[in-house]
Each structure stands twice: as C-alpha cells, then as structure tokens.
Amino acid sequence: MIRRSPLEEGRLARAALIGIAVMFMAVVVVLPLGVVFIEAFKAGLGAWAEAVIEPDARAAIKLTLLVAAIAVPLNMIFGIAAAWAIAKHDFRGKSLLLSLIDLPFSVSPVVSGLIYVLLFGAQGWFGPWLLSNDIQIIFAVPGILLATIFVTFPFVARELIPLMQEQGRSDEEAALSLGANGWQAFWYVTLPNIRWGLLYGVLLCNARAMGEFGAVSVVSGHIRGETNTMPLHVEVLYNEYNFVAAFAVASLLALLALVTLALKSFLEWRHRDAIAAMGH
Amino acid sequence: MSIRIENVSKRFAEFPALDNVSLRLEEGEFVALVGPSGSGKTTLLRLIAGLDFPDTGLIRFGDKDVTSLPAAKRGIGFVFQHYALFNHMTVARNIAFGLDIQPRARRPARDAIQARVTELLALVQLPGLEDRFPAQLSGGQRQRVALARALARDPAILLLDEPFGALDARVRRELRKSLRAIHDAVGVTSILVTHDHEEAFGLADRVAILNDGKVEQFATPEELMANPASPFVKTFIE
C-alpha cells in the first residue's frame, strides 16, 4: 500500500497534469521566445549587432527607454496614491475611482490611442489651439508618453489595492498612536509593508511601457529615428521584409523583459529572509 | 490622567454606534469596557484614542479638551487585538518607534533609547529579545512587545482593544497578570475593551457595561454583581 497525501491524485493523473502544463508552456511561451532569438542570430552575431546599432534602431531604443523612464515613475506615484486612498480611506465615489483605474485594461489600446488623436490631433478638440501655439503632441514624443501612461497606469494600483486592503489599517493606526505624522506612517510603515507588491507592479508596468504597441502606434506617426519606439521599429522592419533586423530588435526587446524578470528573481532571492519574515 | 467623556454620540452610516455616552475615569484607574459585539465599546475606545472622532460631545484628558486632537498628539498608548507590530522591524526598533520618529530636538540620545528598550523588555518579561523579528515570536510574546511599544513614550493613558482576543487561555491568564502588574508599576490610567466579563472583573477597578451604544452601568465588579442596574446587566454577567 502506497501512502500518499489525501490531496494528491494518482500517479497517472499527476503525470498527465504536469505534462499538459509543461507542453502548454513550451508551445505558448518557450517556443515563440526561442524562435525570436534563433531568427535574430540566424545571420550571425555581426548582422545582429549591425541591426541593433544602426541609427534608426538606436533612436528607437533611446525613445523606448526615455518613455519608460518617465511613464513608470509617474505611474508608480499615481498607483501608490490611488491604492492608499482606496485601501485606507472611505470616501464617496470610491467604487467609481476603482472602475476608472480598470478602464485602460478594458479599453482596446487602439481606442486609447485614438482618444488622444481626437483630443490633440490637428482636427481634434484642442488641435487648433495647439497648432497656433506651436505645440505638437500627436506624432511626437508627448503623445507617445501620454498613450503609454494611459495604458500602463493600472498596473501598480491594481497590484497594491488588494495587498493594502488585506493589510488593513491597524499598522498605520499603531504608528499614529505612537506619535507619527501621516508622512512618517507612510514612509516607515506603509511603504515597507507594500514594497514587494510595489516592486512587482513597477516591473509589470515597465514591461508594458516598453512593449506597448497599439496605443503608441496610433499616436506615433511612425517617423523613423524620431517617433518610432522599439515595438514600432520591429513592425516597420518586418513590413519591409527585413526579417533579420526585425528579429534582432525584437530579441533586444525580449531581452529587456527577461532582464527585468531576472532582476525580480534576484531581489526575491537576496531578500528571501525578509520576505519569509513578512509572511508572504 | 483623569478622563471625562461628556454626552458623546457617534453614528456609522445609519446605525448609532454610541448614543449620548458619559463616563468619568479617575487618574490611575483601571477601567474595562464590556459588552456584546456591536455595543459600541471599541468605538468608544477609538474615540478616546483619537483614531475616530465623535459627532457630538466632549472628551477631556484632565482639564484639557482633546475632542478633535489627532491620536499622534494625545499622548496615549494603544494596544491592538492583532498586535499591529511592524513586521519589517526588529523588536527593539518596534519598541523604540515612538522615540525614533520624534523631531531631532526632542528625540532622546541613541543610548538613552537603547536603555529604554532594555528597560521595557524587562518590564514585559522578554529580556534579550531585541534583535528578533515579530515573525519569530509567539502570539503572547508579540502582544508583550506591543505593550512595551505602547509604553515607550510614557503615555499617561493606556488603551487596549481586546488585547488577549487572539491568544489561548493559558497565555491569556499569564498576560492578564502581567498587565495588571505593569499598570500598577507604571501608574497609567488604563482602559481595556473586552467581550469577556470575567476578564474585566478580574482585572479592572471599575467596569462599564455597554449595550446598544449606551452605558448600562458603570461600577466596581462587586457592586455590579450585588446590584445589577438593569435586566441586561443581570443576564450579561451571569
């Protein structure tokens, strides 16, 4: 008689479940990612490097990093503020605010981009005013920034709200009863309590900010060397049948994502004792 | 510090949590607020702490009107049912928190804070646990640390919200004894919220029995047993 945990299925069922999970991961995640790298290096390291350091590609990389460097910190601040307000306070219109935060997730990215064209484009509501003041938003970096911020703003807030709701208010109340002001309670108590959730939210936000295609595509205008981000540059190259270059830039984009993932795992490993002590 | 609560009312959404409550606590007294859940005892404690504010009525500490003073400025210590220790800080940093965050001009020197932590850990009978994290302690030990933390700034008033609620019976008895000994040694005015009238009778000098947002009776345990003021009190303490 083989002893086993009452929750455990038979050996066959277990093998089947694991097999399905592994197969699915292989087909849906590993294979495509592998193809990107294989195609990228098919013509050799030289061709890969050439495609990546070519001026238009460099401009696209720079723009992508710039957009992420502005959008991510802004959304981090917004996300913390929104989560703090929703989880730790009661006010009228709370559920409305919650739905608004979810809006970018439920709206198609193309629509998100179009909103800005309708607002700031030449034929848009503010178009004539912007034109007469010589301010360009659409088909320029500000538009790309706005679209990216819009699409990525739920990530941090969505990560933090359930966490902060679960943690409740008593830690902050304890800090207040010990003489802390609101800022001290936030800095010394709330922020350390949410730091892992915050890190995760920021990494997800960053991955999406660098990878966003739809919304950015609508407002960018695809001007090579000026308003092309990395995802847009990949598409331009691909449409020109320049597959090696397209996959080379795509592999770099994938690499950036893998680096953020590795960074997260590294931090979790470095601070594993602290995470265990926090109890989650 | 004596505490006076005068005609305090508080409503949450539609139901009244406290309905025109008045109480007068003497300096150095140990008072328990007892009642079934929803009777308003925790609400009253939070109003005294400054974690909530009354709709009408006054709260005075000594001669001072503190009704709208926030918790941080009331000079109280508060102990929570689920400890509310800061999990990312050691026991020593938890206890020292109220001292560490003071503005530089008023903050005690580092070794004075260190000495205070050692003294408080001795008071709550956990000497030598300075460098542990809360996750490495048992429930009873955590609540002792929370008690030490609440006492660090020498509060005149100690407020305890069901502090033994999450502990098993044996630990609860031990902690009860310690709490009364600490109260007598430190000389604070203490208010304990509990739903367990035996706990209240065993600990407190006087007990206020609350029901439906009103104080049914406020008296010594002996008097409550001898002359219950209402049928509710009579059945509640049986």
- With beta carbons under 8 A apart, name residues in chain B contacting A277: 87-88, 133-136
Identify from A171, A177, A191, A278 which residue to disrupt to test chain B contact, counting B C-beta atoms within 10 A and taking the largest count.
A177
A277 has pLDDT over 80: no
Contact: B97, A173; criterion CB under 8 Å: no
Q: State the SS3 of A153-208.
A: CHHHHHHHHHHHHHHCCHHHHHHHHCCCCHHHHHHHHHHHHHHHHHHHHHHHHHHH
Name the residue with tokens 């005690």.
Answer: B108
B171 three-state secondary structure: helix
Q: At B170, list the tokens.
A: 């044996």
Query: Mean pLDDT score of chain B, rounded to an integer?
Result: 93
At B58, give phi and psi (nearest 5°).
-125, 150
Half-sphere exposure of A81 (CA within 13 A, CB side): 8
Q: Residue A179 is nearest to which of B86, B101, B133, comparing CB atoms?
A: B101
Residues of B with CB under 8 A from a CB of A: 49-51, 70-73, 76-78, 80, 82, 84-88, 97-98, 101-102, 133-136, 146, 149-150, 152-153, 159
pLDDT bin (cut points 50, 70, 90) of residue B165 is confident
pLDDT of residue A278: 60
pLDDT bin (cut points 50, 70, 90) of residue B5 is very high
Q: To the nearest 5 percent, what fractions of chain A are helix, strand and coil?
A: 80, 0, 20
A280 has pLDDT over 50: no
Contact: A174, B84; criterion CB under 8 Å: yes
- With beta carbons under 8 A apart, name residues in chain A contacting B120: none
Name the residue with tokens 């331009």.
Answer: A236
* Beta partners for residue A270, in sequence order: none
Contact: B72, A181; criterion CB under 8 Å: yes
Average pLDDT, stretch A122-141? 84
A24 has pLDDT over 80: yes
User: Which among A82, A220, A202, A101 has a CA at the least distance from the CA of A151?
Assistant: A101
Please tell me the pTM assigned to this model: 0.83
At B108, give phi and psi (nearest 5°).
-65, 160
Contact: B88, A274; criterion CB under 8 Å: yes
Per-residue pLDDT reduced to its tens digit, A201-234:
999 899 899 999 999 999 888 888 888 999 999 9
**Partner B contacted by A40 (CB < 8 A):** no
B121 has pLDDT over 50: yes
Q: Residue B153 is nearest to which of A170, A178, A184, comparing CB atoms?
A: A178
Q: Give percent above pLDDT 70 in chain B.
A: 100
pLDDT of residue B146: 96
Per-residue pLDDT reduced to its tens digit, B182-218:
999 998 999 999 999 999 999 999 999 999 999 999 9
Query: Mean pLDDT score of chain A, rounded to an integer?
Result: 88
Q: State the SS3 of A52-65.
A: HHCHHHHHHHHHHH
ipTM of the prediction: 0.92
pLDDT bin (cut points 50, 70, 90) of residue B167 is confident
- With beta carbons under 8 A apart, name residues in chain A contacting B106: none
Half-sphere exposure of B59 (CA within 13 A, CB side): 24
Per-residue pLDDT reduced to its tens digit, A173-201:
999 999 999 999 999 999 999 988 999 89
Using the CB atoms, write b or e for A33-69: b if 16+ within 10 Å.
eeebbebbeebeeeebeebbebebbebbbebbeebbe
- With beta carbons under 8 A apart, name residues in chain B contacting A278: 87-88, 135
- With beta carbons under 8 A apart, name residues in chain B contacting A189: 86
